[in-house]
Amino acid sequence: MDSIDSADNVENTDTVVVVGAGPAGMMAAIKAAENGAAVTLLEKMPRAGKKMLITGKGRCNITNVAEKQELIKNIPGNGKFLHSCLKSYDNEDVQLFFQGLGVPVKVERGGRVFPVSDRAADVVDAMVLRLHELGIRLVTDARVAGLLLEAGAKGEACVKGVRTADGSQYHGRAVIVATGGASYPGTGSTGDGYRWAAEAGHHVVKPLPALVPLEAEDDWVKELQGLALRNVRATLLADGKKAGEMFGEMLFTHFGVSGPIILSLSRQAAQLLEAGSFLELEIDLKPALSLEQLDARLLRDFEKYQRKEIKNGMKDLLPGRLIEPVLDAAYLEPERMVNTVTREERHRLAQVLKGLSMVISGTRPIAEAIVTAGGVDVKEINPKTMESKLVKGLYFAGEVADVDGYTGGFNLQAAFSMGAAAGCWSVWNS
């Protein structure tokens, strides 16, 4: 459905130039056009919304129905910065926007909002169609090389447009940079906006992977590849001190661990690893039971299977593949008879079940992260308008700024809210 226009080395005089046709960029372009601006939207990939097509496992989790404070709580990367734009354009606005475009939505577990069709392509196509309806010029295969900057009448820095790699210049009274972060570079998010922001005088917080699987040092972890656990609690320890905790589902992989609770802890893990901390992850396999309750449960199972080997005496308590790693951590031979286990050994086993530990050696590469932590320092962005505090007419929206959230629709909501603010204010401030 995309309109592909070739850059032709002719200067354009659109009021607003938007760089990046992802969720924030398309929303910014739409809102600017709805407010009367002539808009050019530049996208370096062959089509718009390529990264959106893979979000939510191809279903596109467009937002979450949580209250505003809960939304902010689930955006650990500078969620408070979004107070104003979430007030102006919230999760109800996002749902109404897509319903108005002919994309009915539904609410699933955890307040996550998806298109009824379960097709991310329907979300992207509806936004692209709206671009066309508004007369927005969508230029794909357009690789922006940098910003056009000059000094204003009072000596302040101003943006006047952008230049592309083929020598074209697109002039506008406002430029909105919505180029995304550095994750999934195959979708076009290669960190270009960071470079332009730095060239314009902005501080860029070092990009780190967020919502990314973690690599473990222990061989037993990798041998459990494919094993999923539900209703467990993962605690991240930095130099022996508790740094974070999550309850829910996780997955063992060929390199370490993944799954929702691991991804939610990964932002903090990446920052702590960057700072040189020694990281461990402790898994409470039975978080619903206290240590005393768990010991009583073990005692009952051991009485039931007293003539069995320990590895068979725990089949009611753990998935089969997990039994031997747990016994090994408790220094118990799997082939020992249950009736030979001492009270002290049983207590030690209970301790392991409440805190199975592994060493975290790193994260997967930033290219594999769902989102990027870091980006343009939000202290240098007006939280109401998304305009740069350093360069007049320059706006930032979406993941290019130092804003990131957990899974569950929070990142797309942030992108839509920031894009809406930038799009509106780029016109109103002109």
93 three-state secondary structure:
helix
Q: In Å, how far are 7, 36, 78, 312, 416 from 89, measured between CA atoms?
A: 33, 19, 17, 56, 8
Displacement of CA 203 from its chain's centroid (Å): 21
Closest CA to 417 of 40, 58, 63, 42: 63
Instruction: State both tokens at 303.
Output: 């009485």
Q: How far apart are CA 136 and CA 26, in angstroms?
A: 10
The pLDDT value given to residue 274: 96
Strand partners, 404: 77
| Residue at 410: amino acid letter | F
Q: How far apart are CA 88 and CA 313, in angstroms?
A: 58
Q: How far apart are CA 216 and CA 233, in angstroms?
A: 17
Burial class (CB in 10 A: 0-12, 13-18, 19+), 313: buried
DSSP secondary structure letter of residue 386? -
The pLDDT value given to residue 183: 84
Closest CA to 78 of 258, 267, 279, 265: 267
The pLDDT value given to residue 359: 98
Residues with Cβ < 8 Å from 379, sequence gap 6 or more? 203
Instruction: State both tokens at 121.
Output: 């392509």
Instruction: State both tokens at 366.
Output: 């930033």
Global model pTM greater than 0.85: yes
The pLDDT value given to residue 189: 79
The pLDDT value given to residue 155: 75
| Residue at 355: amino acid letter | G
6 three-state secondary structure:
coil
Mean pLDDT by 10 residues, the chain (430 residues): 35 79 98 97 96 93 97 97 98 98 97 98 98 97 96 85 95 96 82 95 96 97 97 98 97 97 97 97 98 96 95 95 97 96 97 98 94 96 98 97 97 98 94
Domains of the chain: 12-207+374-428 (3.50.50.60), 213-363 (1.10.8.50)
Q: How far apart are CA 154 and CA 354, in angstroms?
A: 64
> Contact 241/296 with Cβ under 8 angstroms?
no
The pLDDT value given to residue 9: 42
> Contact 147/193 with Cβ under 8 angstroms?
no
